[in-house]
Amino acid sequence: MNQDSVPLLAAARRYQDIDRAVFYMPGHKRGQGIDREFRQLMGEQVFRFDLPELPELEEPLAEAEALAADAYGSDRAWFLTNGSTCGIQAMLLATCREGDKVLIGRNCHKAVIAGLVLNGAIPIYLPTEYLPEFDLDLGVSPATLELYLQKHPDVKAVMLVSPNYFGVCGEIEQLVAVAHAHNIPLLVDAAHGAHLGFHPDLPISALQAGADLVVQSTHKVAGSLTQSSILHLQGDRISPTQVDRALQILKSSSPNLLLLLSLDVARRQMAIAGKQLLTETLKLAKAARSQLNQIPNLENRLLAFSQIEVPTLDLTRLTVMVDRIGITGFQADIWLSSKLDVVAEMPTLSQLVFILSLGNIQSDIDRLVQAFHQLPSSQSQNQKFQFQPIPIPEQILTPRQAYFAKSDRLILKDAIGKISAESLCPYPPGIPILCIGEEITSEVVEMLQCILRSGGLINGASDHTLETIRVVTQ
């Protein structure tokens, strides 16, 4: 296919040039009715393309999606304007019904839990490997997947994340092989992997590895606008009709054309110039790693610059351990951003994660390295928090049952033995410690309190102090 063409952009250009009396949505009518200050700030042009799905654009959209499938190596692609969140939920709705069993990597994103509330399936969580020295989740191993597939031959699908937030891709080829040996479809949350497959020095993508359904947040690391993602299907284990049906439920009936256009051009950019652009990004990442590694207290504290073997790492993702500097990742993040305007993607208790992508330039790296040179260290040795993986609590209700059950708030320690009505994911380690529908055990409560005492964050808690927790009451 001609990857240089951008059918959706070309069609949109044609329509915006026509002088029309507009009686369709959106209400601002090509910017004529938009707030003046907003127009001054954004410019005229952007509003002329702020359109819903016009019938004239249907065919060009289908062409643009076909080009994306071709570029990424799938059989079918869907453009999404509600992020990979929508794609994850569609994958689960397309493959599992109420009461079906599904294997889920425990390091899943909260969108997966939401997908389980929607489809009513019974999750069986797969434990992940953990690297204590880097507070790092390494994902599900092929051996674990094999064990669980043998134990649960009746599962309808396996859902894994690859790469994770830290760029760890895991043994994706082996994982695909294990799932397919049992003839079970593998669904992959590749929200952080839209650039994989376009450079030989990057790990192969989940699609290249043979996964059946894969969603990628093109907006996170490739060049499209925030909230735009692509869902891909390959092979014949899942029919495109199932995916279409799921998307009909989940997608907005007014997908924003700006987002769709950005997917069209981001695909062209990756297909035509991806290798060259990623060569630059990898060069910048390598320089950053090597310069940061020379800073006292950071030696061997960068992933892939240590002695530690991490299975298939995306080297454009930079994880810096700040534990030896004597401050937390949260403190380092505040200092770097407030004093020097160097802003990380994500701090955790002991790390800062930086996303490098085709938009970064040399001066960004210079500022990053300089910033770490200036970052004050502290004599007060951080009491290193050691996450001890604890057993996954027992699933008493499915996420859907727990979500719709009556619930109330209880003091955390009084909640032991009750069923959780919320999912809690602490950083570190970025793995849900408690999922909705599971029994709240004393180990969970102790671990949560320990993480909070150490200054960690609990994602998903409705009470951020965690003095209370929502439990099922009926």
Ligand X SMILES: Cc1ncc(COP(=O)(O)O)c(C=O)c1O
CA–CA distances in Å: residue 311 to residues 162, 173, 206: 11, 12, 14
Binding mask of the shown chain, residues 208 to 227, with x at each position contacting ligand X by CB under 6 A? ---------x----------
Among 229, 312, 316, 423, binds ligand X (CB under 6 A): 229
In whole angstroms, the minimum distance from the beta carbon of 468 to ligand X comes to: 27
| Residue 325 CB, nearest approach to ligand X (Å) | 26
Opening angle at CA 244, ends 241 and 247, nearest 5 = 155
**Assigned token pair, 446:** 């102790």
**256 touches ligand X by CB under 6 A:** no
Q: Compute the distance between CA of residue 49 and CA of residue 13 in angstroms, rounded to an integer.
A: 8
The CB-of-375 to ligand X minimum distance in angstroms stands at 26
Residue 48's CB: how many other CB atoms inside 10 A?
Answer: 17
Q: Which stretch binds ligand X (CB under 6 A): 81-89, 305-313, 371-379, 432-440?
A: 81-89
- d(CA 321, CA 354) in angstroms, rounded, equals 11
Span 340-369, contacts to ligand X by CB under 6 A: none
CA distances from 184 to 71, 211, 303 (A): 26, 10, 33
Alpha-carbon gap, residue 138 to 354, rounded angstroms: 18
Relative orientation angle of helices 110-119 and 83-95, to the nearest 10 degrees:
40
Q: Which amino acid is at 387?
A: F
Among 106, 109, 195, 289, binds ligand X (CB under 6 A): 109
Q: Which is nearer to ligand X, 222 or 322 (CB)?
A: 222
| Residue closer to ligand X (CB basis): 104 or 397 | 104
State the minimum distance, in angstroms, from the CB of residue 394 to ligand X.
Answer: 25
Q: Mention every residue, 6+ apart, whose C-beta is less than 8 A from residue 404.
A: none
Which residue's Cβ has the minimum distance to ligand X? 83
Any contact of residue 78 with ligand X (CB under 6 A)? no
- Pick from 81, 85, 331, 454: which binds ligand X (CB under 6 A)? 85
189 touches ligand X by CB under 6 A = yes
- Reduced to 3 states, what is the DSSP secondary structure of residue 321? strand
Alpha carbon distance 55, 51 (integer Å): 11
Minimum gap (Å) between residue 313 Cβ and ligand X: 16
The mark string for 137-176 relative to ligand X (x by CB under 6 A, - otherwise) is ------------------------x---x-----------
Per CB under 6 A, residues contacting ligand X are 83-85, 109, 111, 161, 165, 189, 191, 217, 229
